[in-house]
Amino acid sequence: MIDDRGQKGTAIVISLFVLALITVFVALALTRSSSEAAAVGNETAEGRTFYAAQGSLETMTRNFNKVFEVKLNPTTAELDAVRTTPVQGLSSDYTFLQELDSTSTRTNVVLSGGPFSGLYAIRDNWRLRTTATNNTGVQVQLTRNVLNNRVPIFQFGIFYDDDLELFRPPRFSFGGRVHSNRNFFVSPGSEGVYFNSRVTAVGHIITQTWRNWDTTDSGNQETYIKNASGVDKQLLPAQGSVLNTSSGASDNIFASQPSMPPSKLNTSFETQSAIFDGNLKNLVAPLKLPIKIDSEQNDLIEMIKRGKKIADTAGGDLFSNAGTLAPVTASTQDSDILKEERFANKPGIRISLADSKAKLPGCASGVGTTAISGPCGVRLDGFKDGTGPVPLPTPSATPDRARGYQPLGMKLTAAATTFDYIPTRANGERLFTGGSREVWIKVETVDSNAGTGAITTKDITVDFLSLGITEVASTDLALAAYSGTRADNGTVTSPSANITATAVQTASTYPDSRSVIKLQRFEIFGPAIPNTGNYLYSYGSGSTAINVVRRYSGADATKIANGCATGCTARNADPNTGLEQYAHLKLATLNGTANEAVIPFPIELFDSREGEYYDDDARYTAGQVTQNGVMSLVDIDVANLRRFLRGDYDGLFRPTTNFPSGLRSTDIPQRQGWVVYLSDRRGDADFDGQYDMEDVYGAAPGNDGILQINEDTNGNGILDAKYYSGPTAETCVGTATTCEAPKYSESLTPDAAAVDDHKHYRRGVRLINGTTIPGIYDTTTPANTKGFTFASENGIYVEGNYNATGVNSVPTTGNSAYSEYLPFNTAMHIPASVVGDAVTVLSNAWNDAESFATPYSANSRQAANTTVRFAMIAGDALANKHVSPGQGGTGPWQNLNGGVHNFKRFLETWSGDRLDFSGSLINLFVAQNNNGTFKCCETVYNPPVRNWVFDSTFLDPDRLPPGTPYFQYVQTTGFQRTND
């Protein structure tokens, strides 16, 4: 028999052991499940934190891109906003450390890919980093690098924001990248059109018709574009991206744009254009500057307009609020991007003229349209101290009753202790145009704070004008100072003193020899201007002939005392209103006769393109000039400006309140050079910076009051035509305060037009003596190069050689290379740009007298070879379908804007003479001041031999003019997880 008690005990032990093991396994299983749950929870929290960090980084990236879309150089505050902007929907559960840093200094790169492929850019590297932390301490850090590229607009040989036209020129081989933000109309002449770089258009390449629908050259086959290997490949007329069709055809892609020539798609264009290896493209993305806000045709013209600063008791600006003058307020002031892009706000010098003190920049009080009470600019046609009051004609008012500002004197040399360089006084009698209008000028320095973006200015008017405001008289005139006194009753107290000339001054001490801003002159060189109105005295012949205003002949004290009642030229019958002969006359030797009395007068020229509504001299009155073409000029002497900026006059200025030690060249701010900006709004009745005479077409004699298809220069849908009605008794159509233009039918004698100012908004600025300009070209360290830019909202006339002495050689065919322009790669090879409403080139042979003597005969204005070197930003006229009345040029030229080959305007017969031009051609808007239609080739001009070339030095971002506009191109890279 077996004893089973031991077996039962063993079973119990085993059962307990198994139970224990199961307990351990359960415990282990429970422990593992808890750890895995914790791990899973941690992974989930980390994943959520990662996505929170990504949300933060994307928010920073979006805000960074938004800033750089509109700002080339954001302020510290704007960058701080990128760092501190909260992440929407996550800020309650996470904290974020957002960092934004510049990780490298600027570098110059060649872009690859994208719309700017192949162009040079200035690149900055930025690092965006965010560290996200959740409530339990889980932390994730992400980093992204962003490439901010600034592409200078002068990288383009030709850039048009609107339709680009090139029709039937002689051989045209300019070079450089070509782009149109609309369509490119190309129709070559028999000598061919050659493109050496990429040609792109946002719209279409149109080869069978001109912009005005003319098909004269539909069969011309001389267009060539280089392929990737540099070989010229032919673009035939039937190979454009669109081909001709009929207006009513179902395939007319421009059916909704009735002004565009009817066109159908060329379905073979992609195949045909392949031979150019990508160097001919249509339907590309538009290239927009930061200021380009929307599709309005003239957003970009704002870059040349005056700024809008809030008007308060400390001084601000006025502006045109729908035609009504009003102070700038918080809601109407410039946006940050507009403020930055205006040339008026670029570091350098700003010059402004207006009809009242309140209309000068920074001079409005903010209370209505009144001016601030303190000094702000000077009045040129008031009392001689420039404060504003007009000398009254009553005998007890003042002993000096003539109008006109007397600039301060300067030292002749640094060692001098007296201020014996005394510029000629402004002849306010001729600057004054009647009524309540006044003539005010303000000259100021302009600077910008890189950290805040704030624009700061300093009034230097009285200091700068002490250089002079008058064109220096020639030695042939033998001009001498007029001395003497006059009692307040109008009698001469010392007749002999009044008619005795002081010593004729030498060239080194002559008053006005330092003038930069020139508002008046004593003589007009050139052929005799017809003296129909008894305003002028002319002598000599040919190019050495001189036209002057002779106030009286001989030393006649009675004529001085009595206002020259007899024996004198116009403007002198009334001793109370004709006082210029006392305050403003100088004694001169005229045609060998000494002690002839002459006076200074405003600077005018006749612009036949602006003055004519049709290119046909039979339509105009012989012996008269149309008032619409008489342009009142401010001449800028570039050579004297260069002397001032390089310090030649340092230590010679009189101490003033603003400059206790006298103005110095180092007081003028600059960024890689100087920008000088000028705005002359005298006569701009509604103060909008636009010449309100859009009515440039119509049946004879012009101005039909009907809005034609291409008259609306500002794109507001109405005809802005605020003109006086005349011609004998001018009355304003509308109200007396809104008119600013004459009709084409209004004319006057050439002599009166040449020596008297006018009330119209026909203002321009001319650059003279500009062969050598301010700046320096550093051949060793390009970044130290300093350039010069001149900008204006008015039309600009460039007279004679500019920034070049000539070209080294001119080939028989083709163009001189940019390196042939002299001087090249020396200290005087200056990066330059000219920016204005329109740019007209006047040759080395130009003189103003010819423009008045033969206003409707281009052949009488013979040009001479001229060399200019600058990048150019300007506007052109509107081009459109040729409709009746199709005024402007004759034959097939009607209703065209002249094309890129006439983008620089001309007023002379250049036949056989060269215009040598090296630069860049940028068309950004429709001209609003010099808005005369394109006319060729009867009475206005005949074109030059175009020896033109793209200036390839602009491909170096360190060789650019100051104030150059940039395209912004931000390249965003991927992100990566990082650890500090």
Q: Quote the Cα angle for 956-901-935, to 5°.
A: 145
Evaluate whether 141 touches 184 at the Cβ level (below 8 Å).
Answer: no
Residue 582 has pLDDT above 70, yes or no: no
pLDDT of amino acid 293: 56
Q: Which is more confident, 120 or 580?
A: 120
Q: Quote the Cα angle for 96-99-102, to 5°.
A: 170
Least confident of 493-497, 767-771, 796-800, 924-928: 493-497
Residue 973 has pLDDT above 90, yes or no: no
Give CA–CA dist 500/587, Å, rounded. 8
Tell me the one-letter amino acid at 275: I
pLDDT digits (tens, 9 = 90+) for 639-657: 999 999 999 999 999 999 8
Give CA–CA dist 196/640, Å, rounded. 39
Give CA–CA dist 724/731, Å, rounded. 5
Give CA–CA dist 924/679, Å, rounded. 19
Least confident of 12-16, 167-171, 409-413: 12-16
Evaluate whether 511 touches 498 at the Cβ level (below 8 Å).
Answer: no
Give the residues across from 218 on adjacent strands: none
Give CA–CA dist 75/450, Å, rounded. 6
Structure tokens at 286: 């538009």
Tell me the one-letter amino acid at 10: T
Determine the distance from the C-alpha atom of residue 931 to the mean position of all C-alpha atoms in its chain, rounded to a whole number: 15
pLDDT of amino acid 593: 79
**Listed residue (763, 658, 895, 85) closest to 431, CA to CA:** 763
Evaluate whether 774 touches 642 at the Cβ level (below 8 Å).
Answer: yes
**Listed residue (665, 960, 609, 963) closest to 791, CA to CA:** 963
pLDDT-based confidence at residue 76 (cuts at 50, 70, 90):
confident
pLDDT of amino acid 554: 54
Residue 480 has pLDDT above 90, yes or no: no
pLDDT of amino acid 562: 40
Give CA–CA dist 753/742, Å, rounded. 13
Q: Give the C-alpha distances (Å, rounded to integers) separating 431 from 428, 600, 748, 929.
A: 5, 10, 18, 21
What one-character-per-residue DSSP string does 939-963 give? SS-BPPEEEEEE-GGGGSTTS--TT
**Listed residue (712, 701, 715, 680) closest to 628, CA to CA:** 701
Evaluate whether 359 touches 681 at the Cβ level (below 8 Å).
Answer: yes
pLDDT digits (tens, 9 = 90+) for 270-288: 999 999 999 999 999 999 8
What mean pLDDT, rounded, does the chain reach? 86
Give backbone dihedrals phi and psi of 341, rounded to 5 degrees, phi first.
-85, -15
Structure tokens at 15: 């059962």
Question: What's the average model confidence in pLDDT over 682-703?
Answer: 90
Residue 45 has pLDDT above 70, yes or no: yes
pLDDT of amino acid 297: 55
pLDDT digits (tens, 9 = 90+) for 398-429: 446 678 899 999 999 999 999 989 899 999 98
Give CA–CA dist 603/472, Å, rounded. 13
Q: Which is more confident, 668 or 582?
A: 668
Residue 11 has pLDDT above 80, yes or no: no
Q: Where are the beta strands (DSSP E) in 301-430?
A: 318-321, 324-327, 348-354, 378-379
pLDDT-based confidence at residue 550 (cuts at 50, 70, 90):
confident
Exposed/middle/buried for residue 892 (C-beta within 10 Å: 0-12, 13-18, 19+)? middle
First-to-last alpha carbon distance for the chain, in angstroms, is: 83
| Residue 801: partners with Cβ closer than 8 Å, 6 or more residues away | 770, 771, 844, 866, 867, 868
pLDDT digits (tens, 9 = 90+) for 782-819: 999 999 999 999 999 999 999 999 999 999 888 999 99
Structure tokens at 577: 């209103």
Give the 3-state secondary structure of 290-315: CCCCCCCCCHHHHHHCCCCCCCCCCC
pLDDT of amino acid 39: 52
pLDDT of amino acid 822: 97
Exposed/middle/buried for residue 293 (C-beta within 10 Å: 0-12, 13-18, 19+)? middle
Evaluate whether 506 touches 525 at the Cβ level (below 8 Å).
Answer: no
Tokens 């007081």 correspond to what residue?
667
Determine the distance from the C-alpha atom of residue 362 to the mean position of all C-alpha atoms in its chain, rounded to a whole number: 21
pLDDT-based confidence at residue 885 (cuts at 50, 70, 90):
low
Residue 505 has pLDDT above 50, yes or no: no
DSSP letter at 155? G
Q: Report the range out of 592-606, 607-621, 878-892 with the highest average pLDDT.
A: 607-621
Residue 506 has pLDDT above 60, yes or no: no
Question: What angle in degrees, to the nearest 10, is found between the helix axes of 5-70 and 76-84?
Answer: 160
pLDDT-based confidence at residue 920 (cuts at 50, 70, 90):
very high
Q: Give the C-alpha distances (Å, rounded to integers) separating 962 from 263, 517, 521, 670, 780.
A: 42, 21, 31, 8, 19
pLDDT digits (tens, 9 = 90+) for 819-833: 999 999 999 999 999
Assess whether the previous peptide bond of 727 is cis (omega < 30° from 0). Answer: yes
What one-character-per-residue DSSP string does 797-832 give? EEES-BS-SEES---SSS---GGGEES-SSTT---E
Structure tokens at 509: 């001490």
Structure tokens at 934: 């394109």
Give CA–CA dist 216/28, Å, rounded. 96
Q: Which is more confident, 595 or 232?
A: 232
Give CA–CA dist 516/935, Å, rounded. 33
pLDDT of amino acid 689: 96
Residue 160 has pLDDT above 90, yes or no: yes
Within 13 Å, how many C-alpha atoms sit on residue 749's CB side?
13
Residue 558 has pLDDT above 70, yes or no: no
What does the chain come to in residues? Answer: 980
Give CA–CA dist 217/193, Å, rounded. 13
pLDDT digits (tens, 9 = 90+) for 180-230: 999 999 999 888 999 999 999 999 999 999 999 998 877 788 999 999 999
pLDDT digits (tens, 9 = 90+) for 512-548: 999 999 999 999 999 999 988 778 888 887 767 899 9
Q: Quote the Cα angle for 434-437-443, to 5°.
A: 130
Percentage of the chain modeled with pLDDT above 90: 59
CB atoms within 10 A of CB 163: 23
DSSP letter at 835? E
pLDDT of amino acid 464: 98
Give CA–CA dist 612/608, Å, rounded. 6
Q: Report the range out of 589-593, 706-710, 749-753, 917-921 with the highest average pLDDT.
A: 917-921
CB atoms within 10 A of CB 980: 6
Q: Give the C-alpha distances (Å, rounded to integers) separating 248 from 251, 256, 263, 293, 514.
A: 9, 11, 10, 34, 65
Structure tokens at 331: 């809601």
Give CA–CA dist 628/611, Å, rounded. 5
Calculate the CA dihedral of residues 161, 162, 163, 164 and round it to 10 degrees: -30
Evaluate whether 172 touches 223 at the Cβ level (below 8 Å).
Answer: no
Give CA–CA dist 352/682, Å, rounded. 10
Q: Give the C-alpha distances (Å, rounded to integers) separating 407 from 404, 457, 652.
A: 10, 21, 14
Give CA–CA dist 583/595, Å, rounded. 16
Q: Strand 156-160 vs strand 763-768: parallel, antiparallel, or unpaired?
A: unpaired
pLDDT of amino acid 351: 98
Residue 504 has pLDDT above 90, yes or no: no
Within 13 Å, how many C-alpha atoms sit on residue 426's CB side?
31
Structure tokens at 684: 């701009």
